[in-house]
């Protein structure tokens, strides 16, 4: 049987097993094992455990459970609500200040927790009710939180970027630095849209009121004093200092990514103990159980994805596919567009972890041959995978929002996120035209 036939069969069997409802980790592992039995030497099955262990025996991957512990500690405390409250107090005078506060709260919380669903849940549980109480339309409120949550896999410490660095054999520190500029650009785009949309809804509410209709809560002005603003800072500043300290330790060369993850986890546990008095075994148990569950699930997916990629490589499926793409002689931008479109489609069905580990052996060699910077592409690919988190039909953040605000119709949530999808596509185009937005900062800090 030819390599091309085996590759097509490999892909078809994978899709059939996944659509049958088998969990992703077991589906990838089962397909890989089946093809090892069918097309590889008989003794290869005996090496499954060894192969998975060797693939996962990476010091970079060690940082993942520690970053998850840090995120769980912050996510299961009141840090998200306090952060949101402080930002709202300082930004409420701006047009759409409440929406802008939610965008910035999502960005800061994502940088501390590193998880998109956790960011949506922590900020959305306080932000969505408050925005709706202030007259924001349900879809608008849901869209802000769902889109803001996507920053969790872009802003450092991003588990998705850790895996990309491993798969692409690129510097994790450089990749983290490259994500900061595009992340800030997305934050500004989201905040700008929030301001524009608020002014549009405010103008419509004002017209209704002037024509004798009811007075919308959008027209109500807040009366927070300077004292109220400063009273909210003591609970938030320690977490901002934690974030800054972790970044300085990592980028200043004082600690490796794994050491930084451990430092962040320990400091996060100390902070929630000091600020929220979370120190009893009963209060710590949900944090540790959540960390164990999420880490086990994620590491199992990683292990099986790496085994799946190993089988692809052994059977020359990934090499042949990459060579086939090169032999098509596409222009470099058509090649990039085709690959990103494939990532978008895969994002409808697969989490970013699986997308990276399954596609990296195929797409990275042609991109490197075409002259693309793989650090820059890692940022682009991450933003495109973010689209999968809020893009129908399967966007995970959409269902997280639906869970924390069940009375908002699913159609309203979907229409609320679509403008942010367009903004993210626009950001990708801008990064293609001006790649320096991503590459300038790591070049300055770490050299070319």
Enclosing domain of residue 358: 59-446
- Domain contains 16: no
Q: Rounded to whole angstroms, how far apart are CA atoms 124 and 81? A: 9
- When pLDDT is averaged across residues 288-310 and rounded to a whole number, the result is 80
Helix axes 138-149, 172-210, angle to 10 degrees: 170
Residues in the chain: 448
- Domain contains 318: yes
Kindly report the average pLDDT of the chain as a whole number. Answer: 79
Q: What percent of the chain has pLDDT over 70?
A: 88
81 or 408: which leads in pLDDT: 408
- When pLDDT is averaged across residues 268-295 and rounded to a whole number, the result is 82
pLDDT at position 280 is 82
- When pLDDT is averaged across residues 170-197 and rounded to a whole number, the result is 88
- Domain contains 8: no
- Domain contains 340: yes
**pLDDT tens string 92-140:** 667 777 788 888 878 877 777 666 777 777 777 777 887 887 778 888 8
- Domain contains 270: yes
Nearest to 121 by CA among 141, 97, 146: 146
345 or 144: which leads in pLDDT: 144
- Residue 418, pLDDT > 70, answer yes
409 or 234: which leads in pLDDT: 409
Q: Rounded to whole angstroms, how far apart are CA atoms 435 and 438? A: 6
- Domain contains 397: yes
pLDDT at position 426 is 94
pLDDT at position 189 is 92
pLDDT band at 428 (very low <50, low <70, confident <90, very high): very high
Q: Rounded to whole angstroms, how far apart are CA atoms 55 and 61? A: 10
Structural contact between residues 361 and 312, judged by C-beta atoms closer than 8 angstroms: yes
Element (H, E) at 310: helix 281-314
pLDDT at position 393 is 62
Q: Rounded to whole angstroms, how far apart are CA atoms 260 and 20? A: 40
Residues 6+ apart with CB under 8 A from 320: 3, 4, 7
Range in 152-156, 181-185, 422-426 with the lowest mean pLDDT? 152-156
**pLDDT tens string 26-60:** 888 888 888 888 888 877 777 777 777 776 776 66
pLDDT at position 186 is 92
Number of domains in the chain: 1
- Domain contains 36: no
């Amino acid at each position: 049987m030819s390599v091309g036939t085996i590759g097509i069969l490999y892909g078809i069997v994978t899709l059939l097993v996944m659509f049958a409802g088998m969990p992703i980790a077991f589906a990838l592992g089962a397909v890989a094992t089946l093809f090892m039995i069918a097309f590889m030497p008989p003794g290869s099955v005996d090496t499954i455990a060894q192969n998975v262990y060797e693939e996962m025996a990476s010091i970079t991957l060690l940082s993942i459970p520690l970053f998850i512990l840090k995120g769980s500690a912050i996510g299961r405390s009141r840090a998200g609500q306090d952060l949101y409250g402080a930002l709202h107090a300082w930004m409420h005078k701006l047009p759409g200040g409440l929406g802008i506060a939610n965008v910035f709260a999502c960005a800061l919380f994502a940088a501390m927790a590193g998880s998109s669903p956790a960011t949506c849940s922590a900020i959305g549980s306080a932000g969505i009710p408050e925005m709706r109480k202030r007259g924001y339309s349900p879809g608008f409120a849901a869209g802000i939180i769902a889109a803001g949550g996507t920053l969790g896999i872009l802003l450092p410490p991003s588990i998705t970027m850790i895996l990309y660095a491993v798969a692409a054999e690129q510097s994790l520190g450089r990749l983290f630095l490259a994500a900061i500029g595009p992340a800030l650009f997305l934050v500004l785009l989201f905040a700008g849209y929030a301001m524009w949309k608020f002014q549009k809804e405010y103008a419509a509410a004002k017209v209704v009121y002037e024509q004798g209709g009811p007075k919308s809560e959008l027209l109500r002005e807040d009366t927070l004093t300077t004292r109220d603003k400063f009273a909210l800072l003591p609970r938030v500043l320690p977490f901002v200092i934690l974030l800054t300290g972790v970044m300085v330790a990592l980028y200043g060369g004082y600690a490796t990514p794994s050491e930084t993850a451990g430092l962040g986890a320990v400091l996060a546990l100390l902070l929630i103990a000091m600020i929220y008095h979370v120190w009893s075994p009963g209060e710590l148990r949900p944090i540790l159980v959540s960390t164990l569950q999420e880490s086990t699930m994620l590491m199992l997916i990683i292990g099986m994805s790496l085994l799946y990629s190993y089988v692809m490589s052994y059977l020359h499926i990934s090499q042949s596919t990459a060579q086939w793409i090169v032999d098509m002689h596409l222009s470099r931008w058509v090649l990039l567009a085709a690959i990103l479109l494939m990532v978008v489609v895969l994002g409808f069905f697969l989490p970013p972890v699986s997308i990276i580990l399954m596609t990296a052996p195929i797409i990275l060699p042609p991109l490197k041959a075409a002259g693309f910077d793989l650090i820059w592409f890692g940022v682009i690919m991450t933003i495109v995978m973010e689209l999968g988190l809020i893009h129908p039909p399967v966007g995970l953040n959409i269902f997280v929002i639906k869970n924390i605000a069940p009375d908002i119709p699913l159609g309203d949530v979907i229409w609320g996120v679509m403008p942010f999808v367009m903004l993210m596509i626009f950001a990708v185009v801008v990064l293609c035209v001006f790649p320096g937005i991503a590459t300038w900062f790591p070049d300055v800090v770490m050299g070319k």
